[in-house]
């Protein structure tokens, strides 16, 4: 309300995710004028052989 879903390849540290969730939420509060507590963020990670760009798996690039 709003909900943010981040679709990413695996491999980020907890520290990176902590900073991302904090900053994405802040961006939402600033621009959409919602309360921080109403914002949820979920990072949906898939392994490099389950994500691709240009038709090629990340595990093959």
- Residue 52 has, within 13 A of its CA and on its CB side, a CA count of 8
Q: Is 28 in the site for its own copies (CB under 8 A)?
A: yes
Exposed (0-12), middle (13-18) or buried (19+): which is 28, by Cβ within 10 Å? buried
Q: Is 61 in the site for its own copies (CB under 8 A)?
A: no
How far apart are CB 60 and its own copies at their closest, in Å?
A: 7
How far apart are CB 50 and its own copies at their closest, in Å?
A: 4
Coil vs helix vs strand at 8: strand
Binding site for its own copies (CB under 8 A): 1-9, 12, 14, 16-28, 30-33, 36-37, 39-46, 49-57, 59-60
């Amino acid at each position: 309300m709003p909900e943010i879903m981040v679709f990413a390849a695996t491999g980020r540290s907890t520290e990176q995710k902590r900073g991302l969730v904090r900053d994405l939420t802040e961006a939402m509060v600033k621009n959409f004028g919602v309360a921080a507590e109403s914002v949820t963020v979920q990072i949906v990670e898939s392994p490099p052989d389950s994500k691709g760009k240009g038709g090629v798996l990340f595990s093959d690039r």
